[in-house]
Amino acid sequence: MRTIKGPAIFLAQFVGSEAPFNSLDGLCKWASDLGYKGIQIPTWEKGLIDLDKAADSKTYCDELKGKVAAYGLEITELSTHLQGQLVAVNPAYDVMFDAFAPAHLKGNYASRTAWAKEQVKKAIRASKHLGIGVHATFSGALMWHTMYPWPQRPSGLVELGFKELAARWLPILDCAKENGVDVCYEIHPGEDLHDGITFERFLAATNKHESAHILYDPSHFVLQQLDYLAFIDIYHEHIKMFHVKDAEFNPTGRSGVYGGYQDWVDRPGRFRSLGDGQIDFKAIFTKLTQYGFDGWAVMEWECCIKSPEQGAREGAPFIQSCMIEASKKAFDDFAGGDADEAVNRKILGI
């Protein structure tokens, strides 16, 4: 067993126009002062990282690591959630997802897809330069609009969808393999990889590519009513990253999983700050430790009620309280003895 690293914090939801949230130095000092030991960096935030330089220059990455280390922090992972989303976009969502693309690519969807693929590859190369072996992203979605099968899906549609999704990601996964980096897809509603079955289908479509893995975030499973603890039992070999985010699901006689198009605060399923939701994090940390997960526990804040500042203040001690120092010995070692085959045979009567 290994001890999980942390606490760390994903910076995406905290970047802003005012200090300390408007610079890497400001965010690092803020996070360090709150007790965090690592930061996960969103690569679309150019004020935090120059992705082009990071992909091409180990010297730049060494300097970036040094800047972060000066605050007692490590870079835990890089994220391309927004760029990964653009690797696969159904035309029904083209206009809405244009917000994730540079201005000169808006409306030019073929070029936008090509740009997104290169962005993820750059982040993979940057991860190698930073000495990080895992990378966080989204799969994108070609089939999400058919998630609820009405009208019924035509025969072969799902198979073709995963074949195309795999075709778009295989060159990226090959790049990841060449650079010794695992691509960790956040299993998330809205993505074609949104539960265990869809991850399995994608893995099969990529011929079980060795670089395709999972970013585990239990909050998305609560909102889907999926067993987030059993998921670890089934997929622990693929779980290489961990977002610590809470959630709750309180269905009513008027609304359930789909939420009635309501704002987040009024939905039965909603994200909460750590400790305010329904997730049993003690059980999650126990299972991940049991299975030898040695990655980072990274807080992601997306609460619709509590302020991000309070959520961040409470997040580090909450994660720390859940962390387990993995045992290096069995509790009953004191009562054991050295291996002796003759004695064992005598006990067994053979």
In the chain, where are the structural domains located? 5-348
**Residues 245/302, Cβ–Cβ less than 8 Å:** yes
**What confidence category does residue 329 fall into, taking pLDDT thresholds of 50, 70 and 90?**
confident
CA angle 243/37/248 to nearest 5° reads 30
Give pLDDT, residue 336. Answer: 73
Give pLDDT, residue 50. Answer: 98
Give pLDDT, residue 172. Answer: 99
- Positive or negative torsion for Cα 217, 218, 221, 223: negative
User: Is residue 1 scored above 90 in pLDDT?
Assistant: no
- Residues 62-101 have pLDDT tens digits of 999 999 999 999 999 999 999 999 999 999 999 999 999 9
Residue type, 93: Y
CA dist 306 and 309 (Å) reads 8
**Residues 273/315, Cβ–Cβ less than 8 Å:** yes
Enumerate residues 6+ apart whose C-beta is below 8 A from 238: 199, 212, 213, 214
Residue in 95, 191, 206 with CA at minimum distance from that of residue 137? 191
User: Is residue 37 scored above 70 in pLDDT?
Assistant: yes
> Which token pair is 4?
């999980």
- Residues 111-156 have pLDDT tens digits of 999 999 999 999 999 999 999 999 999 999 999 999 999 999 999 9
**Residues 254/260, Cβ–Cβ less than 8 Å:** yes
CA angle 116/80/274 to nearest 5° reads 150
CA dist 119 and 82 (Å) reads 10
Pairing of strands 246-249, 269-272: antiparallel
Residue type, 18: E
> Which token pair is 20?
């300390």
**Residues 67/43, Cβ–Cβ less than 8 Å:** no
CA dist 210 and 163 (Å) reads 17
> Which token pair is 244?
């610590």
We find that the CATH architecture of domain 5-348 is Alpha-Beta Barrel (3.20)
- Backbone φ and ψ for 241, nearest 5 degrees, come out as -140, 160
Give pLDDT, residue 334. Answer: 62
User: Is residue 337 scored above 90 in pLDDT?
Assistant: no
- Backbone φ and ψ for 250, nearest 5 degrees, come out as -125, 80
Return the SS3 of 309: helix
**What confidence category does residue 338 fall into, taking pLDDT thresholds of 50, 70 and 90?**
confident
Q: What is the pLDDT averaged over residues 302-310?
A: 97
Token pair 């985010």: residue: 245
User: Is residue 296 scored above 80 in pLDDT?
Assistant: yes
Give pLDDT, residue 326. Answer: 82
CA dist 339 and 344 (Å) reads 8
Mean pLDDT for all residues in the chain: 96
Question: Residue 89 burial (CB < 10 Å; 0-12/13-18/19+)?
Answer: buried
Return the SS3 of 63: helix
CA dist 103 and 72 (Å) reads 36
For the chain, what percent of residues have pLDDT higher than 70?
98
CA dist 315 and 7 (Å) reads 8
Residue in 327, 312, 326 with CA at minimum distance from that of residue 244? 312
DSSP state of 223: H
- Residues 214-263 have pLDDT tens digits of 999 999 999 999 999 999 999 999 999 999 999 999 999 999 999 999 99
